[in-house]
């Protein structure tokens, strides 16, 4: 990957950082479009594996960005992707928090905070859609995903049981 490509990755991830309301996972669909569809730096499987591995590992949910960078350009790509996704949003969040804490009783601050929830939910649904596309050729996995989503909505079952069930279904289909 050239220095121009790395600079482009940093700038694109920096922009996405400012849009990642609810965490880096919410901008995964746009990251996918950029690194897989537009640039071809990695493929669908590598992208999905990056998210899966990062979600299974302990730590922040943005670890997948580091893995995407690693898959695209090794150590340098990992550092560039991580810096791009972390720096702008961290600086903005710190500044915004300090400012809104002084004005927290104002109605427009309260309205802004309340309005962020539906945006976050929409971004998470878009992420789920993109990740689900890698398994659309496996009707069993689609059924397991739909059943898991319905179970989460309808019950108080610990999601770890559903994750374990999905893992078992994936193992059974790969044999």
138-147 per-position pLDDT tens digit: 777 778 778 8
Mean of all residue pLDDT scores within the chain = 88
162: Cβ–Cβ under 8 A, 6 or more apart, which residues? Answer: 148, 151, 152
Count: domains in the chain: 1
Q: How far apart are CA 127 and CA 120, in angstroms?
A: 11
Instruction: Provide the token pair at 34.
Output: 């950029």
- pLDDT attached to residue 5: 97
pLDDT grade for 121, boundaries at 50, 70 and 90 = confident
DSSP summary character for residue 43: -
Instruction: Provide the token pair at 96.
Output: 């915004």
Does residue 31 sit within a domain?
yes
Does residue 73 sit within a domain?
yes
Angle at 20 between CA 170 and CA 7, to 5 degrees: 95
- pLDDT of residue 124 exceeding 90, the answer is no
- pLDDT attached to residue 23: 82
- pLDDT attached to residue 38: 97
Does residue 144 sit within a domain?
no
Does residue 166 sit within a domain?
no
Does residue 56 sit within a domain?
yes
- pLDDT attached to residue 69: 97
Does residue 125 sit within a domain?
no
* Domain enclosing residue 76, as ranges: 3-106
Q: End-to-end distance of the chain based on CA atoms, in angstroms?
A: 35
């Amino acid at each position: 990957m050239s220095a121009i490509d790395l600079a482009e990755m940093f700038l694109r991830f920096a922009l996405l950082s400012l849009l990642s309301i609810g965490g880096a996972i919410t901008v995964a669909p746009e990251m996918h479009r950029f690194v897989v569809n537009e640039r071809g730096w990695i493929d669908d499987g590598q992208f999905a594996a990056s998210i899966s591995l990062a979600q299974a590992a302990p730590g922040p949910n943005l670890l997948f960005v580091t893995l995407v960078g690693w898959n695209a350009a090794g150590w340098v790509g990992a550092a560039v992707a991580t810096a791009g996704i972390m720096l702008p949003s961290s600086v903005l969040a710190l500044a915004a928090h300090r400012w809104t804490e002084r004005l927290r009783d104002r109605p427009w601050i309260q309205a802004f905070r309340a309005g962020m929830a539906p945006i976050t939910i929409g971004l998470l649904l878009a992420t789920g859609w993109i990740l689900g596309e890698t398994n659309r050729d496996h009707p069993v996995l689609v059924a397991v995903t739909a059943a898991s989503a319905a179970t989460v909505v309808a019950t108080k079952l610990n999601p770890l049981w559903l994750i374990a069930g999905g893992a078992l279904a994936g193992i059974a289909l790969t044999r």
